[in-house]
Structure 1
């Protein structure tokens, strides 16, 4: 969506104050722990762009709460798995040898949206160390969320997703369908999983090295899980700016998702 499209479908500029009011109407409160997935363009034409959205989220949650976002950098992943676009087979080893190491303070996100990419640079925001699947966090429990993100647990028990689950986080989606928390359900579900090898470059003691790890192969059924979840669990729905928004319990979703996958995969 272009900026012109956003102007055409927005009756008036979306301000930080408007976003704060809409977030509170949806049910977000000071002191909440929340994992955010977002699309800036879905919000409409926002006065000030991504920083206005980050300011609104911080203003509502406050420093007494915790705000987290996925800040994945799949441009550093094993090119064997790349599809958008794929690269020639003969390039792959050269890419693994030469791609710059992940550095939390400067590596950009890929496919996470403008709000998440802006958020990672904010004062007081900390970011986990995973080369492909990092998360950034701000607020009271930010350090707890991002600490000790194991290379071999991108979205599992030693990842920020599990820490957010322990903190009884809520999942906020602003104009997107993404729901990273269901990957944690994949790790926890007991079914016959297939695993694939991935990896990425890291910087340790001033030296670049490539780390490899196994992760469960995901299946294209997350929307089916969510539809079943919504039949008997609370999902708050509303509008934030011009975006459709949802707010739900991560813990409830992950627990339900794991059981659903055991029964249906």
Structure 2
């Protein structure tokens, strides 16, 4: 959505005070740990843009709360798997040889939106160590949440997602769809811990040197997210509301993951996935 379209759909500029009220009405409380997904354009025209959205989130949870956002950088992957857009095969070796290594302070997010990218650079924000699918966090629990993210299992039982489930985090979706709900990747891993994997590569710094490394990552099936999300939308766990003009959801991470694991572990679901 263009800025002109955001202006056209807004009755007036959205302020930090208004967004905080909307967050509180949805159920955001001081001290909460929130995993936040945001579509800035769907909120409407915000005075101050993404900075105001972040300030509003921080005000709503207060100094005892923790804000977490996905900070994925998919460009730090093997170019042979790129499809949106692909690059010529003749480029692959040059890309592998020259790709800058992952740096939690410098590597930008990709496809995460303005709010996640600005949050990445926010004073005091920490970032996890995975070069492709990191998380950023700010608040008292940030260090504990981001401490572990295995290179070959970044969404599994020892990931930031699992750490958030352990501290009763809530998932806040502001104008975003179930297809981008990162939290559900944890349910995928718990439902099929020995599921199929694919070969990938990335660039890191190790012992002071740039290195291109091969990694085997779990396959994902995000096409399951929308059907499961439709079920969760009708469950009492989930609260619906609006942040500005954006249809929004708030729900506890751990119970939702438990429901998804049960759903995806059923024999009929597994047989459908094998087709």
Query: What range is the shorter-chain TM-score in?
Result: over 0.9
Decide which moves more: 22-31 or 252-261: 252-261
Q: Answer yes or no: is the 8 Å Cα contact 2:153–2:218 preserved in 1.
A: no
Distance in 2 between the 1:153 and 1:217 partners?
A: 10
Question: What TM-score comes out, normalization by structure 1 length?
Answer: 0.96
Paired residue for 1:196? 198
Distance in 1 between the 2:59 and 2:173 partners?
A: 17
Decide which of 220, 234, 253 is 2:256's aligned counterpart.
Answer: 253
Structure 1: stretches of 5+ with no match in the other structure: none
Task: Give 1:191 deviation, angstroms.
Answer: 7.6
Distance in 1 between the 2:201 and 2:148 partners?
A: 17
Distance in 1 between the 2:213 and 2:252 partners?
A: 33
Distance in 2 between the 1:256 and 1:215 partners?
A: 24
Decide which moves more: 47-56 or 149-158: 149-158
Paired residue for 1:216? 218
Aligned residues between the structures: 265
Please provide the CA RMSD for this pair: 1.4
Task: Give 1:180 deviation, angstroms.
Answer: 0.5
Paired residue for 2:185? 183
Deviating beyond 4 angstroms after TM superposition, the runs of 4 or more aligned structure 1 residues are: none
Which residues in structure 2 correspond to 1:101-180 (within 5 Å)?
101-177=101-177, 178-180=180-182
Judged with a 3 Å threshold, the aligned counterparts in structure 2 of structure 1 residues 191 and 204 are, in CA distance, closer, same or farther, namely closer
Q: Answer yes or no: is the 8 Å Cα contact 1:40–1:115 preserved in 2.
A: yes
Paired residue for 1:43? 43
Distance in 2 between the 1:230 and 1:45 partners?
A: 27
Question: What TM-score comes out, normalization by structure 2 length?
Answer: 0.92
Task: Give 1:143 deviation, angstroms.
Answer: 0.4
The alignment status of 1:227 with 2:230, answered yes or no, reads yes
Task: Give 1:149 deviation, angstroms.
Answer: 1.9
Distance in 2 between the 1:167 and 1:45 partners?
A: 34
**Cα deviation per residue 1:191-230 (whole Å; 9 max; x = unaligned)?**
8722112231112232111233222222211111112233
